[in-house]
Amino acid sequence: MREAAGTPRRAAALLVVPVLALAGCGGDDEVGAKPDLPTETPALWNPCDALGVGFVKKQFGTDATKDAGTEQSPECRFTPKDPEGDEPALTSSYLLFSGTLDEAWKTMQVGNGTEVTEPAIAGADDARVVVNATKDQLYVTGFVQNGGLIQQVDVVDPKPYDEQRIVRGVEATLARLSQHAEASDVRGEGS
């Protein structure tokens, strides 16, 4: 068995840290008071409603199985069917947040060796893509905000990886999630 087997799933769990930072932002004198979080969910939301195995195969080349989580924890995961292969794994989740992605971003600490871009995503209020390429794996996290809905995509790809393809795939995933949020009118604003 290769050393990297199972690593993409563990690494994907580590990328969830930025979402936790979103949930706990504020309270710092430099940032300001913690924004009020919405008290009601406008509708049950699951990123899997916008994503499928065919889309993941086209964007990332992964022959994956899809797991939509549970009703209480609607996290969307695409895990390679071959756990010992070198295909990327993808996870998508969301958070309702009454502030802006820019406000939340100021509370996050992005480590050395990472590259951050702000892609233009149709229909979105804001977006960020964070790339961290190591010698063994590529970690790419994307955020897209539509109103009070901030969706996150995490991709972990073991070596050998194609960084440009994965970044393009993350941007395409953010665009698909943003489009679905706009079409569903699920922006976390109670509209």
Identify the CATH number of the domain in which residue 156 sits.
3.40.1000
Whether the pLDDT of residue 188 is over 50: the answer is: no
Q: Which two structure tokens, joined as six digits, stand for 116?
A: 């951050």
Q: What per-residue confidence (pLDDT) applies to 41?
A: 45
Q: What per-residue confidence (pLDDT) applies to 87?
A: 94
Is residue 2 situated within a structural domain?
A: no
Distance of alpha carbon 52 from alpha carbon 129, whole angstroms: 21
Distance of alpha carbon 116 from alpha carbon 118, whole angstroms: 7
**Which residues lie across from 94 on neighbouring strands?**
151
Domain assignment of residue 95, given as a range: 7-184
Q: What per-residue confidence (pLDDT) applies to 112?
A: 61
Which pTM value belongs to this model?
0.74
How many domains, the chain?
1
Is residue 1 situated within a structural domain?
A: no
CB neighbour list of residue 80: distance below 8 Å, 6 or more residues apart: 8, 62, 63, 64, 87, 88, 89
Is residue 190 situated within a structural domain?
A: no
Whether the pLDDT of residue 35 is over 70: the answer is: no
Confidence label for 98 from pLDDT (cuts 50, 70 and 90): confident
Question: Mean per-residue pLDDT for 161-167?
Answer: 96
Distance of alpha carbon 127 from alpha carbon 177, whole angstroms: 11
Distance of alpha carbon 162 from alpha carbon 60, whole angstroms: 9
Is residue 37 situated within a structural domain?
A: yes
Q: What per-residue confidence (pLDDT) applies to 152?
A: 93
Is residue 191 situated within a structural domain?
A: no
Is residue 117 situated within a structural domain?
A: yes
Confidence label for 44 from pLDDT (cuts 50, 70 and 90): low
108: left (phi over 0), alpha (psi -120 to 50) or beta: beta
Is residue 168 situated within a structural domain?
A: yes
Residues, the chain: 191
